[in-house]
Structure 1
Amino acid sequence: MREFTVPPVITGAPVGGLADTVFQHAHEEPGRVVLGRKTGGVWRDVTSGELAAEVLALAKGLLAQGVRFGDRVAVMSRTRYEWTLFDFALWAIGAQPVPVYPTSSAEQVRWILADSRCTACVVENEDQAMTVGSVVDGLPELRLLWQLDAGAVDALVADGRGVSEDVVHRHRGAVTPDAVATVIYTSGTTGRPKGCVLTHANFMFEADTMAGHWESVFQASPGEQPSTLLFLPLAHVFGRMVEVAAVRARVKLGHQPVLTAAELLPGLAAFRPTFVLGVPYVFEKVFAAARRKAEAEGRTGPFDRAVETAVRYAEAREQQAFGIGPGPSAGLRVEHQVFEKLVYGKVRAAMGGRVRHAMSGGSAMSRRLGLFFEGAGITIFEGYGLTESSAAATANPPGATKYGTVGPPIPGCTVHIAADGEVWLHGGHVFSGYLNDPRGTQEVLRGGWLATGDLGRLDEDGYLTITGRKKEILVTSNGKSVQPAALEERVRSHPLVAQCVLVGNDRPYIAALITLDPEGIAHWLSMRGLPQRPAAELVHDTDLSAEVRRAVVAANTLVSQAEAIRTFRVLPEQFSEERGLLTPSLKLKRRAIEKAYAMEVAALYQS
């Protein structure tokens, strides 16, 4: 199959802007709980009426400080309650938030703020304020800087007390669906981030489609309020879409700023969401934590048997859903029930005890992991999308999940497989182009179709499987996109290094395979009065490893922490054309290298 379309579930054209939802809900149900705010380690409920009042007060403060309709305001922070306030307050006055990763380097911050011509910036803490300050000379249009941890919200609210509420509402009334809602920067083909321009209509289409078609996910059991804990970065389009969808669908939303397992698992246990939206990394960590606990308690054998049972049970249910099997046998159902209390219930308890559904995106999840969670009572709907498609373009639907695929197109979207295998997308979620980059826009928008740069195939049911990337951007398992060329070049510039290849696709972090330059090694030994030795004998030399580490550290200064090389392996021989690892023009054959050194790559990710 070369093309597949799913009819839309949304009827009628979008109206107004994203901030309208906040005030509409406050008018209809002022006492309904819509947010959870953690203060002093305790979660406090925030109602629709309270949220609208806070958004209005902050919007008045922004106007008082000179933020105007159409202005762009950078937000550099971890995922926290105040980010959501700023998003909706800025949308209420027709301004455009520009998200910046909190770990971004000074050069990345300078580029994003300069390219987007931000007039103001919100940071979380003093370190980020200093990062912005270090490049402020190159940002002539930046006039205002607010720091959340220094009381920015309270100060702005105080500044806005003299501004009439009507002024905010007049601004809000002027926002139309085709107005720009945000500019989100993503890695481009040159390695320099590109600003994806997304409209209010893009967000409305995406959020309302997800909430409508995946109603079982966005609803809760009788007597429960639907809720989700947002732990994805709000600087990422997936996190922003979760934020918007939760508010529009009246789902209680909490914010979790730290994604590490040590912080996330207690957060899930305390907030007790009914569903979560995450990246494969999160589900991998939950599984790994469960297995480590079983191992510590001397129950590795039963745990592994429970995993096998869950996988077989889920596979049988999957076959039944597609009419190719009878479902789990009586014996398998009994075996599955035995492990429900022993293992599966404990896995769900680790996620708060109420989670029955999840959505995963950002990178590929292993089929086996998805089947395990399905068998353990948590259905994970895996999807696929880009910043340019306002997050999800495909996703597995309720009742018909094919693990190992990213599902069919979301309703109202079409997926087309081009002649070269590239995935093209069409629908109301596709962005309007790159900011200040008409050539880049022309390269990816072709007659209304978004050429994704990813390779894939559609099966007979219209389910998409991503098979690779046309360009060599790495995507880690936590969804971070990394352009390897600049890092590799910087490492390779060290005199002891001959070649450098980054790995990290669908893995938790970036790592590197490095080969040594024979002449550089000979000189290094000579200068130290050491006998000459072949490079193969030096791969474990501590002094040489320290030298190579310096090259890695220097390269890491070019990028954020999430993009940095975490670890590396020095190889005993160089990549060569003879071994099929280089092209005739000496370009690296990345897939061939990773396959040839599969054991070395695996060792880089062993904890």
Structure 2
Amino acid sequence: MSESLDLALRGGDHTLPKLLQHWASSTPDALAFREKDLGIWNRLTWRHYHDTARRFALGLLALGFRRGDRLAIASEDTPEWMFADLGTQAIGGVVVGIYPTNPWAELQYIVHHSNSRFVVCGDQEQVDKVLDAIARHEVGLPDVTRIIAVDMKGMRLYPRDMLMSFDEVLELGDGYAAASPEQARAFDDGIAATQPDDTCMLVYTSGTTGPPKGAMLSHRNLLITTDQLRTHFNLDQHNMEVVCYLPLCHVAERAFSTVMHTMTGGVVNYAESIDTVAVNLREIAPTVFLGVPRIWEKLQQGIVMRMQDAMPLQRWAFERCFAAGKALFERTEERDGERTLAERLHFALLWLLMFRNLQKFIGLDRMRCGFCGGASVSPEVLKFFRIIGLPVYQVYGMTESGGVIFHQHERARRLGATGTPIKGLNWKIAEDGELIVKHPAVFKGYLHDDNATALTVQDGWLHTGDVVALAPNGELMIVDRKKAIIITSGGKNISPSEIENALKDSIYVREAIVLGDGRHFLSALVQIDYETVGKWAQERRLAYTTYRSLSQLPDVRELIDAEVRRVNKLFARVENIRKFLILEKELDHDDGELTATQKVRRGIIGKKFAREIELIYGGGTA
């Protein structure tokens, strides 16, 4: 990377399309993407990335796309997502990401609210949602003029008045460029006209407490935060390789698979699906990995379950090595991981005997740095990976902050904390404990919602809505969301997330929701982990057929009761769970109980499970 480009990135003085153009011209044949098709990982170069984005952009211009128009993308993660994203931005458009798991009503809200004129759909399922939104809703989608489908399978007989294929748009782009030299230059001219403070994407919040809001983000917002991670961890074209598996409409995945990618010129590998992440990690062995808490929990769970099924000698070896590694970790953690020569030799022996194989088993044996963000996570989860030698750091940020604004590193790695601020961040803690920040990365506001913008950003200060504290070493610690803090009838303020994370440390608990606001004791709704509890039941020859029948077994209740009692010992009496109820169904995004990023919608839970909550607090049997 040239020195001038590096300096520009540090100030956010660049745009994503210009970075794409830089790598396509300086390293055209370098690997940009890998995508698995029929068991083969296909390779795509930076030249291919740039040229396809150009063809798509020119195709949009042929269809009447204008600077400032908005294009929505509802698709799984694919290279076409990126081609449409950067191609649209290059001609001055704004991209609106939509979770592929969103039902048609949520898609309708976002497409209509954003005034998107074009919608790129990954497959027939997403096209059907758009058509449903047009036909089944009284408002419809009056702004939409084109639906562009990447995979046309199953749609041969669909009306083609609005629908066309992604390939047809590329062919239109070819014809547009061939028509005249001026039109052929439209893409390059468009890139040259892009400015760092242009709005390049709308990211809709997950909507845990109300309808999603469209956060307007500029190139500068995204580049200036992500560059802090790039420079601190010395990431470049030779050592930055990631697996793309979170929805690309989520700002965390966008930060790594789009922003970090175009900043470093590294490699993005597309997971086949969220369900195959574990397999794809072993195939790719990325050097950088971002995981939401649930992913790290599943990776830990995979190792634990594998060891439970291992031969007695293997299980004994794992237990001995892990116990030795834990003792070594605890001795050195107060020194920020600094080890004496004897301790380094001790760990090297444990790595050779056991930890090397565990790292390879989950596909992270090449990982330079791992990050955990997106929601609160139990310190025990991060501790597990650090014991086996994987550097996993907690990060903190939000859509409105343009990405990560606090992160851990080699010298700030306290369990339960979330690191130190990025350079240039002004921050303070309000009287009520809320974190407030000011930085060029702070977003441009919410689309069509000046009132919400004014409440969130006051005199340039972003009110994050997170209650925080400082650890003894100066790192930031996230207590909870302000709206999630429980105030009991006795006036005690309690953070539910810490208790919930402790419950989810159990391999048998998938989700836990602590209740008690305005009540005289705490309770919990518990969703068991169907896979692990099912395996536990099979080993004891307990009969069940579905999640519901499994959840209602008396033996399962005793199993969860033991886990609740274990957790209660970790907290003060006022923070103990007095009663709990095992949910008869798994929480689901389609039912509105979870956001697309698997966060619990507490307001919806209170309404949908009012009968269960009444059983707990109304004197019934729970």
The reply to whether TM is greater than 0.5 is yes
Aligned to 2:369: 357
- Aligned-partner residue type, residue 28 of structure 2: P
* Further displaced range: 154-163 or 556-565: 556-565
Question: Percent same amino acid at aligned positions?
Answer: 26
Size of the alignment, in residue pairs?
509
2:123 maps to 1:125:
yes
Label 1:573 to 1:472 Cα distance change in 2 as closer, same or farther (>3 A): closer
Q: CA deviation at 1:28?
A: 1.5
Kept in 1, the 8 Å contact 2:457–2:463? The answer is yes
* Further displaced range: 238-247 or 343-352: 343-352
Label 1:312 to 1:551 Cα distance change in 2 as closer, same or farther (>3 A): closer
Cα deviation 1:55-93 (Å, max 9, x = unaligned):
111211121122221111111112222111111111111
Pick from 191, 196, 199: which aligns with 1:172?
191
Higher RCO structure, 1 or 2 (CA under 8 Å, sep 6+): 1
Cα deviation 1:17-61 (Å, max 9, x = unaligned):
211111111112222222223233212332222221121112111
Pick from 378, 398, 418: which aligns with 2:410?
398
- Aligned-partner residue type, residue 556 of structure 1: D
Label 1:380 to 1:109 Cα distance change in 2 as closer, same or farther (>3 A): same
Pick from 383, 387, 398: which aligns with 1:386?
398
2:327 maps to 1:316:
no
* Further displaced range: 298-307 or 396-405: 298-307
Q: CA deviation at 1:307?
A: 2.9
In 2: Cα distance, 1:257 partner to 1:413 partner: 37
Label 1:555 to 1:254 Cα distance change in 2 as closer, same or farther (>3 A): closer
Structure 1 stretches of 5 or more lacking a match?
Answer: 1-7, 485-499, 510-536, 541-547, 580-596, 601-607
Kept in 2, the 8 Å contact 1:9–1:213? The answer is no
Pick from 438, 460, 469: which aligns with 1:457?
469
In 2: Cα distance, 1:120 partner to 1:107 partner: 17
Kept in 2, the 8 Å contact 1:73–1:120? The answer is yes
Which residues of 2 match residues 160-239 of structure 1 at below 5 A?
Answer: 160-164=173-177, 165-188=184-207, 190-215=209-234, 218-219=235-236, 225-239=239-253
Cα deviation 1:328-356 (Å, max 9, x = unaligned):
683x5555344323321122112333223
Aligned to 2:147: 145
Kept in 1, the 8 Å contact 2:417–2:471? The answer is no
Label 1:108 to 1:502 Cα distance change in 2 as closer, same or farther (>3 A): farther
How large is the RMSD of aligned CA atoms in angstroms? 3.8
- Aligned-partner residue type, residue 148 of structure 1: V
2:310 maps to 1:297:
yes
TM-score in terms of structure 1 length: 0.75
Q: CA deviation at 1:100?
A: 0.5
Kept in 2, the 8 Å contact 1:319–1:327? The answer is no
Label 1:296 to 1:70 Cα distance change in 2 as closer, same or farther (>3 A): same
Aligned to 2:452: 440
In 2: Cα distance, 1:204 partner to 1:248 partner: 8
In 2: Cα distance, 1:555 partner to 1:48 partner: 37
* Further displaced range: 347-356 or 158-167: 347-356
Label 1:61 to 1:72 Cα distance change in 2 as closer, same or farther (>3 A): same
Q: CA deviation at 1:230?
A: 1.5
Aligned to 2:385: 373
Aligned to 2:256: 242
- Aligned-partner residue type, residue 370 of structure 1: L
Q: CA deviation at 1:388?
A: 0.8
Aligned to 2:281: 268
Pick from 60, 63, 73: which aligns with 1:62?
60
Aligned to 2:591: 556
Cα deviation 1:92-142 (Å, max 9, x = unaligned):
111111011111122211111111001011111111111111111511001
Aligned to 1:523: none
In 2: Cα distance, 1:189 partner to 1:338 partner: 47
In 2: Cα distance, 1:358 partner to 1:266 partner: 18
Pick from 330, 346, 352: which aligns with 1:341?
352
Aligned to 1:527: none
Label 1:233 to 1:314 Cα distance change in 2 as closer, same or farther (>3 A): farther
In 1: Cα distance, 2:613 partner to 2:111 partner: 43
Structure 2 stretches of 5 or more lacking a match?
Answer: 1-5, 154-164, 178-183, 486-495, 505-510, 514-521, 531-553, 558-582
TM-score in terms of structure 2 length: 0.74
Pick from 290, 293, 313: which aligns with 1:277?
290
In 1: Cα distance, 2:256 partner to 2:277 partner: 17
Cα deviation 1:250-308 (Å, max 9, x = unaligned):
11111114223xx1122112222112111122222122111211221133343233333
Q: CA deviation at 1:171?
A: 1.8
- Aligned-partner residue type, residue 226 of structure 2: A
In 2: Cα distance, 1:22 partner to 1:11 partner: 13
In 2: Cα distance, 1:472 partner to 1:305 partner: 40
Label 1:554 to 1:230 Cα distance change in 2 as closer, same or farther (>3 A): closer
* Helix, strand or coil at the partner of 1:19: helix
Label 1:501 to 1:98 Cα distance change in 2 as closer, same or farther (>3 A): farther
Pick from 414, 417, 421: which aligns with 2:429?
417
Kept in 1, the 8 Å contact 2:226–2:404? The answer is no
Which residues of 2 match residues 407-556 of structure 1 at below 5 A?
Answer: 407-472=419-484, 556=591
Which residues of 2 match residues 572-591 of structure 1 at below 5 A?
Answer: 574-576=615-617
- Aligned-partner residue type, residue 92 of structure 2: G
Cα deviation 1:365-406 (Å, max 9, x = unaligned):
322322332232210121111111122111002343222211
Cα deviation 1:548-597 (Å, max 9, x = unaligned):
97999999168767568999898596454999xxxxxxxxxxxxxxxxx9
Cα deviation 1:435-471 (Å, max 9, x = unaligned):
1111111111011111111101123543110011111
In 2: Cα distance, 1:55 partner to 1:238 partner: 22
* Helix, strand or coil at the partner of 1:240: helix
Label 1:419 to 1:578 Cα distance change in 2 as closer, same or farther (>3 A): farther
Q: CA deviation at 1:502?
A: 8.4
In 2: Cα distance, 1:258 partner to 1:149 partner: 16
Pick from 49, 52, 60: which aligns with 1:51?
49
- Aligned-partner residue type, residue 259 of structure 1: I
In 1: Cα distance, 2:260 partner to 2:381 partner: 26
In 1: Cα distance, 2:106 partner to 2:290 partner: 27
* Further displaced range: 372-381 or 299-308: 299-308
Q: CA deviation at 1:225?
A: 4.5
Kept in 2, the 8 Å contact 1:556–1:564? The answer is no
